[in-house]
Structure 1
Amino acid sequence: MVRGLPLGGRAAAAARWCTCRSAAVAVCLGNLVAALLVARALYPPGYMASAPKSGEVKYSKEQMRWVEESIRIRRAAEPVELIEAVKKLRKVFAREAKRRKELPLELKQKVSYEILQKLRDLGEDRNSTEQREAVESWRIEKLEDIRRSSAQNSSNLGLSNEESRILKRTLEFNWRLLLEDIGLWIPPSVSHIEHDDKPENAPEEEEIIPGPPLPPECNAEVHTDYGGAAVRWGLTHHKESAADCCQACIDQAKRAKPGALKCNIWVYCPSEYGCYSPDKYEHKHQECWLKQADHPKLNFKDRYSESYRDSHPTAPVVVPWMSGVISA
């Protein structure tokens, strides 16, 4: 009896544990059935099967129509002609790059040396037109030498047959690219032609004279240089304006003593850069020369002649001085 008590206690405990587990399982199954019933009541049949997968976006028909319209508008706005032009340019650039690589570096150096020697023989005092002609004549001569060697089945140029073939094709079709590769650039000569499209008998534009207006008795003439005996040297006699120079001539004539030279010609330098004169002096801005001549004569008027400028290389085209003969 004493030994039977513990066995009976363990059996009772095991029976109680099985009863609790069964109860827990029953509760879980009840909860699952309830959840399924609730889900069926909330969602229509087939919803779970048609639900989008994770990461997918489901669009409505209206949204799909907007996307298709946007794609159509974008394609219609594409610059088709520009895209085709870019494709063609890429092909051209690719061909040019391929042609450039065909000429070996050693051959480019040989060509560069020969052209440089041709220019040295021409002389440094040649203009750009003569230099371009010399380089072009070298190209023509080199092509003739290559053709002659090919016809005679010989090579007198120190080049292999393959190098001669590559150089011939380059000189004929890729000459400009070759000049770029060897770094040779000769500036183009610019010929300036001045066209006089001014209508006939059109009035000349009046040149603006700096300073106050000149009185009528000054008889101012722009781009004019009168000769005469110097009453006052302009190298040390400067005036602010042509009007002041003319007035200085008038005042000198009034104050001159009997028997002294009286100014009746004034010559003024209005240019800020000075005025040209064939003498040995450097004539600067605002020089005012006072002169006297019974019969005033012009030294220069408007422009220096071509023959004069040929014999005087430093002479400008236009006479820079302005002068006047004082009226009595």
Structure 2
Amino acid sequence: MAAGWWLLVGLLVALATAAWWLYRDPYRLIRAEFARQRLVRGFVRREAVIDGCRWVHVEGNARDSGAPTLVMLHGYTGSKENWYRLADALGRRYRLVAPDLPGWGESERVAGAGHGFAAQAGRVAGFLREVAEGPVVLMGHSMGGGIAAVVAARHPDLVSHLVLLDAAGVEFAENRFAREVLDGGNPFAVHDADSLERYLSFLFHRREARPPMPWPAGPALIAHRRQEAAFEQAVLDEIGRGEEQFLPGEEAARIRQPTLLAWGEQDQVIDPGAMGLYAARIPRAQALLVPDAGHMALLEAPEVVAAAVRSLVEGVDRPASKDARAGGSTGPRTEEAP
């Protein structure tokens, strides 16, 4: 009887402690899930202080110690975990490195420091020198794509190949998302259940491709995004309507590395016509329009994107088709990588 009583007391104390732990920081629940996903994949979490900034990244080794290194830069409001589905599709063919960009996720946010394309590109160059073993295949999604383009242009010695997925940084055909940004708003802002649904509908073309979010993950994410609202707005002011909003497109003409451009055909954030604008400026670009996918093509069609990445890294360089290089507001027809 006494043993049962103490077992019950211990259980109640554990539940109360867990409830208090989550009450203090509900986002801990999502961090715990991210940790589970990392462990399942056999990835290792690493920290490094580079040029005075603390970076956190995950790393997965390749079967072959001499395999190329792929470094993956997430997009606006994203994190290193956005790459896990694509990592699964790539398998252990390459060494995979996915950092949280400074200011995002677990990496350090330096007060008063800029987080636009130029500042982040400089930090990424430092990260590559510290973490990579020779030139890397640099991949970037959305905001991360714009940053990757600037890195490849300004630091060609660090980047052997470039992959831009639904990349920001060029003046694309105006859509609802662009109009809200130019009007000073943040279409990605999340402060309640309705705005969370709106945010996800912007990102994903297919509902079934969204990451699962059982209760209480949704409320935890909403609470976290409320806390991040001021920082998110400041970054959007820099990359969405600041002086360097088109810096990646301007720097693209200096990119000489073999480059893959991949876009979701139903991207509601960055119109697919942006792919053609990038292709017209990058001499060795090949383009892939991903069907039945929105802004998160890396999550909605990871096998398709992975096949195109393998073709770029291991295959023969091929130029983009004429229509893809021409650009235009309606979105290009493209040559699809196998």
TM-score, length-scaled by structure 1: 0.17
Higher relative CO (Cα under 8 Å, sequence separation at least 6) belongs to 2
TM-score, length-scaled by structure 2: 0.17
- Bigger Cα Rg: 1
